[in-house]
Amino acid sequence: MKKIAFILLTITCLCFFGTSNVLAVSNTPINWGFKKAKDEVPPEAGAEYDNLLKKYDAFYKADPNKKVVYFTFDNGYENGYTGKILDVLKKEQVPATFFVTGHYLESAPDLVKRMVKEGHIVGNHSWGHPDFTRISDEKLKEELAKVKQKTAELTGQKEMIFLRPPRGVFSERTLKVAKDAGYIHVFWSLAFVDWDVKRQKGWEYSYNEIMRQVHPGAVILLHTVSKDNADALEKAIQDLKKRGYQFASLNDLLLQREIGQNKYIY
Is 215 marked active-site? no
pLDDT digits (tens, 9 = 90+) for 163-213: 999 999 999 999 999 999 999 999 999 999 999 999 999 999 999 999 999
Q: Mean pLDDT, to the nearest integer, of 95-111?
A: 98
Is 125 marked active-site? no
Q: Which of 215, 223, 228, 231 is catalytic?
A: 223
Instruction: Give Cα 59 distance to the centre of its chain.
Output: 10
Q: Which of 74, 137, 228, 231 is catalytic?
A: 74
The secondary structure of residue 167, as a DSSP letter, is: G
Higher-confidence residue: 16 or 175? 175
Higher-confidence residue: 8 or 62? 62
CB 89 within 8 A of CB 121: no
Alpha-helical runs (H) found in 41-190: 47-55, 82-92, 102-107, 109-117, 137-155, 172-180
> How confident is residue 35, by pLDDT bands cut at 50, 70 and 90?
confident
> How confident is residue 255, by pLDDT bands cut at 50, 70 and 90?
confident
> How confident is residue 4, by pLDDT bands cut at 50, 70 and 90?
very low
pLDDT > 50? residue 2: no
All domains in the chain, ordered by first residue: 30-258 (3.20.20.370)
Predicted TM-score of the model (pTM): 0.89
Q: Which residues are within 8 A (CB) of 226 and not within 5 positions of it... i.e. 6 or more apart? A: 79, 81, 194, 195, 197, 200, 206
Q: SS3 of 69, please?
A: strand
- Nearest to residue 174, comparing CAs of 30, 10, 3, 9? 30
Q: Mean pLDDT, to the nearest integer, of 62-91?
A: 97
Summary mean pLDDT of the chain: 90
pLDDT confidence of residue 99: 98
pLDDT confidence of residue 96: 98
pLDDT confidence of residue 11: 39
CB 57 within 8 A of CB 184: yes
What percentage of residues in the chain have a pLDDT greater than 90? 84
pLDDT > 70? residue 20: no
